Amino acid sequence: NQWFENSFKAFACNKAVTFFRNGEMETQLTYDQLHNDINHFSNFLSAKGLKKGDRVILLLEKSVINVVACVALLKIGAVVVPLNSGFKKNELNYLLKDSKAAMVLAGLDKKELIEEIYPCAIFLQIPTHLPYEDLEFFRSCPQSFLRPKLSQSDPGLIIYTSGTTGNPKGAVLSHGNLVCDAGNVISIWDITQKDVVCHALPLFHVHGLCFALFTALLSGSHVMMLDSFTPETVQQRLSSKDPEDTCSIFMAVPAMYTRLLDFVEGKKVEKKKNDFSHMRLWTSGSAPLLEKEFDRITRICGKNPVEREGMSETGMNFSNPLNGRKKPGSIGLPLPGVTVRIVNPETCEDVTSGEVGEIWLKSLSITKGYWEKPVETADTFQDGWFKTGDLGKKDKDGYYYLTDRIKHLIITGGENVSAKEVETVINQLEGVKEAAVVGIPDEKWGEKVVALVEKYPGVELSESKIKAVCKEQLHNLKCPKKIMFSDHIPKNTMGKVLKEKVKQFFYSY
């Protein structure tokens, strides 16, 4: 019940959040100030008639008020539903109706749209474009706040999955789930009040909200919050040597690393500006980190990145060790309290050690189910185990690897082909930035393997050359029957490859 309260008290005078807009510092708050503002805001929300258990959509650009609103909602026992404020009408239409939210907090530009598609909710307009200090609307509410009684099993957050394999589903995370997950991450990465976290992730997925923001606020770290990711502003932040605000941790998705490293390598930034020796932890997750990017981070940032795995439904499940071997291509070891099985999805029996199967999990940070989706919930759980839908294996040292998603397996000529295996072969070719492999319908084979390839600019690389290399290294069934080139592989905001969009390239061909 007191999970945020305790940390805010313990770290009262420390800096909590410094917010940067377009690379310029805009606001700085101590834990004490943040705590007081959260109380003002909690009273403001209660006065609007919100009750424990009400769902509230946060459709806000990244901002300090977004953080304040989120914690205030948790505090009053409402269920926070954070959404991407860049979503368009169709996307919002589905999510707003699915969540059955009682209230929507959104920026000025959303008023008309929300009133059109979701008029039943209370609409609160929040001017996120203004400097935080100028927002007065909630500060006239009292500063002391009496919390309602909350239990571990009360829902705190509904996080919609990324929609990589179908419509997004709302994973309901309880206060108990959130505390367990944040505590796990803080302990394995040893996050303390000495840390300064560079935060360039969005606040509507577990990565940016739970793993980066909640862990920082609960451990008394100082969050350097950037309004959005750009390579320029992140490089500037990470290389700043201001004695009090020198960053120590950066958490990102692989696509952010690629853009950051391209920028650092490509631009003639003074060498000393790219000295990141003060950084103690570079983490990567949400999507696979290519081995060549692991090597590039190691070379340019001076340390091995720590790759980890997590899901909206579960929080973080695996991480490479902070102190210990970080294996490229591996998601690492299970977090404390996470029990893992690797199961043959057809027989539901454990596979022989080292073989590929579906990853099943048990942990206190795992959701009890999806919001109003009893069928999907029933399909996802078996005998108390959460079935991730991800295929993976374990090596002899106990490190885990994701090999593919079950839904992305390609079935060609009756055989299962892992897109990732084919992608790995193509990614090794010089000049290839990234490959995305999918199956498209084929009369003879059921599906056939095809690949979309992004090259580095100015590189000469032909379809026949890639096909020849695949032929050398892969069984004929796995070899792409068609290769197309594109300036970019379609990805969502978390840098996950949108395989349905990749297929479109081949349908229109």
166 binds, among ligand ATP, Mg ion, none (CB under 5 to 8 A by kind): ligand ATP
DSSP 8-state symbol, 341: E
Q: Read off φ and ψ for residue 8, nearest 5 degrees.
A: -65, -35
The residue (of 209 and 425) whose beta carbon lies closer to ligand ATP is 209
Indicate the residue type of 36. N
The residue (of 373 and 482) whose beta carbon lies closer to ligand ATP is 373
The residue (of 42 and 319) whose beta carbon lies closer to ligand ATP is 319
The residue (of 150 and 331) whose beta carbon lies closer to ligand ATP is 331
CB of 307 to ligand ATP, least distance (A): 5
CB of 207 to ligand ATP, least distance (A): 8
CB of 159 to ligand ATP, least distance (A): 8
CB of 191 to ligand ATP, least distance (A): 19
- Quote the CA–CA distance of 178 and 456 in Å, as a whole number: 41
The pairing of beta strand 482-485 with beta strand 446-455: parallel
CB of 158 to Mg ion, least distance (A): 15
- Residue 349: count of CB within 10 angstroms of its CB: 10
The residue (of 146 and 375) whose beta carbon lies closer to Mg ion is 375
The residue (of 72 and 210) whose beta carbon lies closer to ligand ATP is 210
The pairing of beta strand 432-442 with beta strand 415-417: unpaired
Q: 323: exposed, middle or buried (C-beta count within 10 Å: 0-12, 13-18, 19+)?
A: exposed
The residue (of 132 and 371) whose beta carbon lies closer to Mg ion is 371
Among residue numbers 227 through 246, which ones bind Mg ion (CB under 5 A)?
none
369 binds, among Mg ion, ligand ATP, none (CB under 5 to 8 A by kind): none
Rounded to 5°, angle at Cα 100 from 94 and 102: 130
Interface stretch with Mg ion, choices 64-72, 153-161, 185-193, 419-427 (CB under 5 A): 153-161
What 3-state DSSP class applies to 156? strand
- Quote the CA–CA distance of 326 and 307 in Å, as a whole number: 8
Helix, strand, coil percent values for the chain (each to nearest 5): 35, 25, 40
Asked if 219 touches Mg ion (CB under 5 A), the answer is no
- Quote the CA–CA distance of 309 and 237 in Å, as a whole number: 25
The pairing of beta strand 339-343 with beta strand 333-334: unpaired
Q: Is the dihedral of CA 339, 384, 57, 256 positive or negative?
A: positive
Give contact residues for ligand ATP (rule: CB under 6 A).
Answer: 161-166, 168, 205, 285-288, 307, 309-312, 331, 388, 390, 402, 405, 496
The residue (of 285 and 334) whose beta carbon lies closer to ligand ATP is 285
DSSP 8-state symbol, 203: S
First to last CA, the chain: 56
Binding mask 111-150 for Mg ion (x = CB under 5 A): ----------------------------------------
Q: Binding residue for Mg ion (CB under 5 A) from 161, 215, 235, 286?
A: 161
314 binds, among ligand ATP, Mg ion, none (CB under 5 to 8 A by kind): none
State the residues that interact with Mg ion by CB under 5 A. Answer: 161
